[in-house]
Amino acid sequence: MPTTLYIDADACPVKGEAVRVAERHGLEIYFVSNAYMRLPEGPLIKRVVVSDGPDAADNWIAERATRGDIVVTADIPLAAQCLKSGARVIGLTGKPFTDAGIGLALAMRDLSKHLRETGESKGHNAGFTRQDRSRFLQALEEAVQVIKRGG
């Protein structure tokens, strides 16, 4: 079964990079979002606009991603669901989500949410850098290569 690339597209800063890797390897790529967005055109590029709802895009991806596929997301619960189904999952900064680290990532997410809700944290997110973009490209290319080798 060929590899499919699923992009959680609503707040994804690496759409162009994902398209470059997908086209280089002939991978079908699905951009899944809650609203229409301008995307590159091409025979391998698919646009999916899901119904309005907080987890509609995540659910669409989680229902389809399987072993041998790659999911790009910053959403930790979506990453956990996709890892369970055997997909590889890469964060927007190139950090792969793994079975070994997903439990800690979920716990840190919950702790951060609690701290924001109690006012103990303002929820600062670091800016997206050129190095993040470069790490993402490298991680996606490596994930495709591992899958092609049967890993």
29 in Cβ contact with 52 (< 8 Å): no
Secondary structure element (H or E) that encloses residue 48, with its range: strand 45-49
Say yes or no to pLDDT of 82 above 90.
yes
Q: Name the band, by pLDDT with cuts 50, 70 and 90, for residue 126.
A: low
Q: Name the band, by pLDDT with cuts 50, 70 and 90, for residue 2.
A: confident
Q: Out of 2.30.30, 1.10.238, 3.40.50, 2.160.10, which CATH number does the structure's domain 4-98+130-148 have?
A: 3.40.50
Which pLDDT belongs to residue 105? 64
Task: Break the chain into its structural domains and give their ranges.
Answer: 4-98+130-148
Which pLDDT belongs to residue 103? 64
6 in Cβ contact with 12 (< 8 Å): no
Say yes or no to pLDDT of 32 above 80.
yes
Compute the distance between CA of residue 17 and CA of residue 134 in angstroms, rounded to an integer: 9
pTM listed for this prediction = 0.84
| Average pLDDT score over residue span 71-83 | 93
Say yes or no to pLDDT of 102 above 80.
no
Q: Name the band, by pLDDT with cuts 50, 70 and 90, for residue 62.
A: very high
